[in-house]
Amino acid sequence: MSNRSIVIYGPRACGKTTHAEQLRVHFELETTVDDWDGLSAYPREGALVLTSNPEAQVQGTDQSMHFGAAMRALRSEAAR
């Protein structure tokens, strides 16, 4: 069974795409949707969804987090 999708938002050129693969693996997701507009549909399960839109409309119970929080989670796991 897939994990719920996670939406990560942050300003353009902050490193979302650069770190996408590491974040996808960390959150145990299957695919990445880059440069999501924040309004259109996206995969509900198994996707790391990247956007620069802080007003992104997250669907249902999907998780959203700022890029900085996502990187802190990634780094804390790597430090273990």
Question: Residues with Cβ < 8 Å from 32, sequence gap 6 or more?
Answer: 20, 21, 24, 47, 48, 49, 50
Confidence at residue 57, expressed as pLDDT on a 0 to 100 scale: 81
Q: What is the pTM (predicted TM-score) of this model?
A: 0.88
Confidence at residue 55, expressed as pLDDT on a 0 to 100 scale: 86
CA atoms of 37 and 57, how far apart (whole Å): 9
Band of residue 61 on the pLDDT scale cut at 50, 70, 90: low
Model pLDDT for residues 3-45, shown as the tens digit of each residue: 889 999 999 999 999 999 999 999 999 999 999 998 998 888 9
CA atoms of 46 and 29, how far apart (whole Å): 5
Band of residue 50 on the pLDDT scale cut at 50, 70, 90: very high
Confidence at residue 54, expressed as pLDDT on a 0 to 100 scale: 84
Buried b (16+ CB within 10 A) or exposed e, 54-65: eebebeeebebb
Band of residue 80 on the pLDDT scale cut at 50, 70, 90: low
